[in-house]
A and B are shown apart, each in its own frame.
Chain A
Amino acid sequence: MTTPLVSMHGLSRAFVSSKGMFGESRTMRAVDDVTLGLPAGKVTGVVGESGCGKSTLARLALRLIEATSGSVSFDGVELGGLGPAEMRQIRRRMQMVFQDPYSSLDPRYTIADSLLEPFAIQGLMPVGATRKERVAELLDMVGLAQSTASNFPHQLSGGQRQRVGIARALALKPQFVVLDEPTASLDVSIQAQIIELLERFQQQFGLTYLFISHDLSLVRYFCNQIVVMYLGRIVEVMAAPDARPQHPYSRALLESTFAPDPAKRRIVQPLGGEIPSPFALPPGCAFAARCANVSERCRRERPALADTDAGGRVACHHPNR
């Protein structure tokens, strides 16, 4: 395994919500004690249902929100210790593509303005004719017509806007890109084009991706390493995209994916039980209430992430071998 470009160590983020002025405050651990390395030049996928903390993890990785505890280091530099000027410097090398292409572009900016904004913010604004060239290159790179430059976002389709979002993220030639469900709000036909585009850039520029998704089949297609999250914690890391999931939750997730070929469809065992409130997690395994392999020990003792024979890690007392 290559050395990680980004490593997270014991990373946690808690959100405190208080009920009114005098109500007691409740703490939700959106991300809890995550230790994970993102190998350079590889794609790491993070899957889990909504609310499992995957988007929070993405924002922590880029220090868009501050961690409650733990650390993130990028290329050996700990992000938490950087001042504003150093942080701005390092942001050139790490970027993000957002889920919602409708709100990720300022409605008052033309596409050219949006594409030039990273240069402006970083004090790298090209002067004179090179400015137009830059925009032309970026549009060309993501397969958009040159005439798009003078358009406003509302004149473009969702897929076109997402292309602009990708071009903007890649404008400063970053090494690390977080993809926060980049296809979730697009039509299926457009999804494939966007994924293909992202895949091409990954290979062309040797990018390191952190790919957030709730679509396990897409993650299996696209990623080199798969991380499964449940209620803020990593329950399983699969070292290869085709590895057999060992955690009962990962298995359930995988079984729930839709197979286009009717012959390959299985009878899906729906998960029973209830998701525990993220404000009051049980003392043992968070998945115990819904798990088929559950034992008394699971309700008492929280399983730690342990290495598996397949080179991954799993947090389960009774994994499926």
Chain B
Amino acid sequence: MDKDSALMRLLRTPRGAISAVVLGVIVIAAVLAPVIAPYGYAIQNLRLANMEPSAAHWLGTDEFGRDLLSRIIHGARTSLAVGVTSITISMVCGMALGAAAGYFGGAFDRAVTVVVDLSWSFPEILLALILIAILGPGLASTMIAISVAYLAQFTRLTRAQVMALKSETYIEATIAMGAGSGHVLFRHLLPNAITPVIVAGMLATGDAIILEATLGFFGLGAQPPTPSWGAMMSSGTAQIFIAPWIIIFPGLAIAITVIAINLFGDALIDALDIRKRLREN
């Protein structure tokens, strides 16, 4: 039941252990990017443009002669920062909305449900594009757009959890002791509802990184010279026949990161034994 044993169970499975190590490496690389990157991410050297991978530039250089490895390491910062920040915002707002809707019910619940169902019927990418069209491109608007795009998912999940837990006898017992709504929500309902929401957030972070890369690919995300995996792939399309590594390596970085996150999330679901609770949504 307690957290430590769930984490230990997770790390004992090959899937959990491998994904945890890969994720660990990516996170460390992102945090320590300025220290471990062999070159600066914005240093151009046009004489070395489109160099294939070599001893000096392990992953080659791009069309401006910038070191690809350094840019990918710095790009991890953008991807992780956007993924984690936007999903955290989305999760906190979604939990507040979903818990309030599920607990208080009534007209507020109906209003929230209608809006959530409406936004659920749009693909996330479309929602994000509409928001960026309104806010203008950039890192901050990417984060806001992604947060809003995933809000419905967390609201729905939290609402379903709270509704299911609300009828537990211990909630009635708490009310019989004289507790108000705040106590019931924050001491009983949310602590019991939070685990599946956090796991869903973990999995959504992978999706958010893909969405960020997609927006970056369209030039709507982080603006140059800030390195972003999506934007790097986009610039690589022009050189795909003369320097394919420019598009291949950022693509691999995205794939490895997202696969690691998904495997880790999946292993977490099994370790916490909550697959059933997630499917109820």
- Which residues of A are at the interface with B, using a C-beta cutoff of 8 A? 62, 64, 84, 87-89, 91-92, 95-96, 98-100, 103-108, 117-118, 121-122, 152, 154, 165, 168, 172
B170 is contacted by which of A87, A99, A105 (Cβ under 8 Å)? A105
Contacting pair A118 B177 (CB below 8 A): yes
B101 → chain A closest CB, angstroms: 18
Contacting pair B178 A106 (CB below 8 A): no
What residues on B are CB-neighbors of A96 within 8 Å? 172-173, 176
Q: Given that A106-B188, A106-B192, A108-B191 are known contacts, is A84 also in contact with B180, CB under 8 Å in the complex? A: yes
With the chains together, A121 CA to B182 CA distance in Å? 11
Contacting pair A122 B177 (CB below 8 A): yes
Known: A84-B180, A104-B173, A106-B192. 14 other contacts (CB 8 A): A62-B176, A88-B178, A88-B180, A91-B176, A95-B177, A96-B173, A98-B172, A106-B188, A107-B1, A117-B177, A121-B174, A121-B177, A165-B173, A168-B173
Report the nearest B residue to A96, measured CB to CB. Answer: B176
With the chains together, A84 CA to B179 CA distance in Å? 10
Contacting pair B178 A91 (CB below 8 A): yes
Report the nearest B residue to A152, measured CB to CB. Answer: B1
What residues on B are CB-neighbors of A165 within 8 Å? 173
What residues on B are CB-neighbors of A100 within 8 Å? 169
- Which residues of B are at the interface with A, using a C-beta cutoff of 8 A? 1, 168-170, 172-180, 183, 188, 191-192
Report the nearest A residue to B188, measured CB to CB. Answer: A106
26 examples of A-B residue contacts, CB within 8 angstroms: A84-B180, A91-B178, A92-B178, A96-B173, A98-B169, A98-B172, A98-B173, A99-B169, A100-B169, A103-B168, A103-B169, A104-B169, A105-B170, A106-B170, A106-B188, A107-B1, A107-B192, A108-B191, A117-B177, A118-B177, A118-B178, A121-B177, A122-B178, A154-B1, A168-B173, A172-B177
8 closest Cβ pairs, A-B complex: A91-B178, A88-B178, A104-B169, A103-B169, A121-B179, A106-B170, A118-B177, A96-B176
B55 → chain A closest CB, angstroms: 55
What residues on A are CB-neighbors of B192 within 8 Å? 106-108
What residues on A are CB-neighbors of B170 within 8 Å? 103-106
With the chains together, A92 CA to B175 CA distance in Å? 11
Q: How many A-B residue pairs have CB under 8 A?
A: 55
What residues on A are CB-neighbors of B177 within 8 Å? 91, 95, 117-118, 121-122, 168, 172
A58 → chain B closest CB, angstroms: 10
What residues on A are CB-neighbors of B172 within 8 Å? 64, 96, 98
With the chains together, A100 CA to B169 CA distance in Å? 7
Contacting pair B169 A64 (CB below 8 A): no
With the chains together, A89 CA to B180 CA distance in Å? 12
A64 is contacted by which of B175, B183, B191 (Cβ under 8 Å)? B175
With the chains together, A122 CA to B179 CA distance in Å? 8
A102 → chain B closest CB, angstroms: 8
What residues on B are CB-neighbors of A84 within 8 Å? 180
With the chains together, A62 CA to B172 CA distance in Å? 11
With the chains together, A105 CA to B169 CA distance in Å? 8
Counting chain A CB atoms within 10 Å of each CB, the highest count among B174, B175, B176 belongs to B176
With the chains together, A108 CA to B174 CA distance in Å? 14
What residues on A are CB-neighbors of B169 within 8 Å? 98-100, 103-104
Contacting pair B191 A121 (CB below 8 A): no
What residues on B are CB-neighbors of A105 within 8 Å? 170, 173
Contacting pair B1 A121 (CB below 8 A): no
What residues on B are CB-neighbors of A92 within 8 Å? 178
A279 → chain B closest CB, angstroms: 22
A136 → chain B closest CB, angstroms: 20
With the chains together, A106 CA to B191 CA distance in Å? 10
With the chains together, A106 CA to B179 CA distance in Å? 14
Contacting pair B174 A117 (CB below 8 A): yes
What residues on B are CB-neighbors of A106 within 8 Å? 170, 188, 192
Q: Given that A108-B191, A152-B1 are known contacts, is A121 also in contact with B178, CB under 8 Å in the complex? A: yes
